[in-house]
Amino acid sequence: MAAAGLTGLEALWQRHAWRARPSPLARALQPLSWLYAGVAAVLHWPYRVGLRRPAPLPVPVVVVGNLVVGGAGKTPTVIALVRWLRDHGWHPGVVSRGYGRRGDAVRAVDATATAADVGDEPRLIARRTGVPVVVGADRVAAARVLLRAHPRVDVLVSDDGLQHHRLPRALAIVVFDERGIGNGLRLPAGPLRAPMPPAVPPRTLVLYNAERPTTPWPGSCVRRALAGAVALDAWWRGEPPTA
């Protein structure tokens, strides 16, 4: 019954969060959004005023993330970016939070790692690309572990992490899908993790996993397609696809 209730609440939230305009229920939840925004602002304030700075790393970092909660095509974008970097002579590695796994400790995604150990998406990225992947709640610590273990890595891709202020970034890639920003409100009244600035921030690219842009930000639209299929036994052996 608890699971059924949670599913019902989640479905209710989805219906209201992804409307084009805020519903009465979303407006009722807006005071909680202000509280959420206040906590986020306090955490970001030391970085904004220069009291704290992102931790230094010896290689550039590209952060791929969403401004909205839930999937918008971020993981396929990470996989495509890793392949592009490798095809152009780079030696990429990937760091990730590893949502849904047990614990927060730093761990490499190796052949023995299960989804419970490292999360579904980091495991998928590792199997699809064959590059080093390390997960950890502290992405800077994960990056340092990865770079020590793989000294040839010369660029890091962060699977999510736009709001992880300790993590430096040379470039951010923000991904939206056909839902855009829904009702435009912050969690829990709407789907936004952070406020959407009127203009694209510096050193930021925008990708739309949709047929056309779904926010006021200019960006490129990408086409989804099936590629890189492998036999199931090869998948479980961790063999990456050839295309």
DSSP string, the chain: -HHHHHHHHHHHHHHHHTSSS--HHHHHHHHHHHHHHHHHHHHHHHHHTTSS-PPP-SS-EEEEE-SBSS-SSHHHHHHHHHHHHHHTT--EEEEE--TTSS----EE--TT--HHHH-HHHHHHHHHH-S-EEE-SSHHHHHHHHHHH-TT--EEEEES-TT-TTS--SEEEEEEETTTTTT-PBTTTSSBSS---SSPPTTEEEEEESSS--SSS--EE----------HHHHHTTPPP--
The mean pLDDT of 27-56, rounded to a whole number, is 92
Average pLDDT, the chain: 89
Closest CA to 67 of 240, 208, 235: 208
107 vs 77: CA distance, rounded Å: 22
The mean pLDDT of 114-141, rounded to a whole number, is 94
Residue with tokens 């920003």: 181
**Least-confidence region, from 165-169, 188-192, 221-225:** 221-225
pLDDT bin (cut points 50, 70, 90) of residue 72 is confident
- The answer to whether residue 235 scores a pLDDT higher than 80 is no
Max alpha carbon distance in the chain (Å)?
54
The mean pLDDT of 106-120, rounded to a whole number, is 93
Closest CA to 62 of 126, 154, 195, 182: 154
**Least-confidence region, from 29-38, 127-136, 224-233:** 224-233
Residue pLDDT, tens place only, 134-157: 999 999 999 999 999 999 999 999
Closest CA to 92 of 52, 143, 41, 26: 143
- The answer to whether residue 11 scores a pLDDT higher than 70 is yes
Looking at residue 2, its pLDDT comes to: 42
Residue pLDDT, tens place only, 154-165: 999 999 888 889
Looking at residue 202, its pLDDT comes to: 94
230 exposed, middle or buried (CB, 10 Å; 0-12, 13-18, 19+)? middle
Looking at residue 3, its pLDDT comes to: 44
β-pairing verdict for 204-209 and 220-221: parallel
